């Protein structure tokens, strides 16, 4: 239960220990910074550390030249199309032909999925239903096989796999970082758009009410230009 002190501060005991909030009328001659430290057991400390660590942090920041180029490229090439979506071009920094052969690895990953499906028919049905939705929403379509004697060197095949989380439906993700032929390696990265997690958590405490929203299938609302 919260406890109110004589200064107007509110003390509240939580599972992580005591927290202090509220306003104080105490005046100080000089600005002061107060800090409160609580000793918590190793297990909670480890869990908190994992909470604020960001997955796959870049070892080196993007260069300013790369960021500026990416911004200018996007501004000069994107456009809004009639379906109220946006069409963009991929910001290649190397010729797309440098990708090399990618079909064999994508097919091998697909065959691994097929083996798992033989032992789990529900997983197979859920996976196919997810991919069928892509077709129904016109987010993907079947391609025409190339002719005899032609190669797939100018094409890029992205392996895909499923992600299962507790009490959530199956989700299919695409691996554009797949080695040895990686699409991400020949694209400009551009500036980081995510804010620091610490900033988000601190701002979350400023207001009494917080609202969250989600754009459904956000990345699939962007059309890639064929030009």
Tens-place pLDDT, residues 33-48 = 555 555 555 565 665 5
pTM over 0.85: no
Kindly tell me if the per-residue pLDDT of 220 is higher than 80: no
Of the listed ranges 23-32, 83-92, 148-157, the least confidently predicted one is 23-32
Greater pLDDT, 205 or 56: 205
**% of the chain surpassing 90 pLDDT:** 11
- Top-confidence range, 66-70, 105-109, 138-142: 105-109
Angle at the Cα of 129 from the Cα atoms of 123 and 135, rounded to 5 degrees: 145
Tens-place pLDDT, residues 118-153 = 999 999 999 999 999 989 988 888 887 776 666 666
> Which string of DSSP letters, residue by residue, matches the chain?
--EE-TTSEEEEEETTEEEEEE------SS-----------HHHHHHHHHHHPPTT--SSPPPHHHHHHHHHHHHHH-EE-TTS-EEE---BSS-GGGG---HHHHHHHHHHHHHHHHH-HHHHHHHHHHHHHHHHTTS----PPPPTT--STT-----EEEE--TTS--EEEE-TT-SSS-TGGGB------SPPHHHHHHHHTTSS-------TTGGGGEEEP--
Going by pLDDT thresholds of 50, 70 and 90, the confidence category of residue 95 is low
Summary mean pLDDT of the chain: 75
The arithmetic mean of pLDDT across residues 152-169, rounded, is 81
Going by pLDDT thresholds of 50, 70 and 90, the confidence category of residue 24 is low
What residue spans define the domains of the chain? 63-91+188-227, 104-144+154-179
The arithmetic mean of pLDDT across residues 182-205, rounded, is 78
């Amino acid at each position: 239960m919260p406890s109110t002190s004589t200064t107007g501060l509110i003390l509240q005991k939580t599972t992580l220990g005591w927290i202090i909030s509220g306003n104080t009328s105490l005046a100080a001659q000089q600005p002061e910074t107060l800090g409160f430290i609580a000793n918590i057991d190793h297990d909670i400390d480890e869990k908190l550390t994992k909470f604020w660590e960001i997955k796959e942090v870049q070892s080196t920041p993007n260069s300013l030249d790369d960021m500026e180029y990416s911004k200018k490229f996007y501004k000069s090439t994107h456009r809004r199309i009639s379906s109220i979506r946006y069409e963009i071009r991929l910001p290649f920094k190397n010729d797309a032909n440098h990708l090399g052969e990618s079909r064999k690895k994508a097919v091998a990953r697909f065959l691994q999925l097929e083996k798992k499906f033989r032992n789990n028919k529900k997983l197979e049905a859920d996976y196919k239903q997810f991919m069928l939705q892509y077709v129904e929403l016109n987010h993907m379509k079947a391609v025409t096989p190339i002719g005899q004697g032609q190669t797939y060197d100018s094409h890029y095949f992205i392996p895909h796999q499923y992600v299962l989380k507790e009490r959530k439906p199956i989700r299919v993700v695409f691996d554009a970082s797949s080695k040895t032929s990686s699409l991400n390696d020949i694209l400009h990265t551009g500036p980081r758009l995510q804010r620091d997690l610490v900033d988000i958590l601190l701002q979350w405490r400023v207001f009494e009410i917080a609202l969250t929203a989600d754009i459904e299938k956000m990345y699939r609302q962007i059309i890639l230009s064929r030009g």
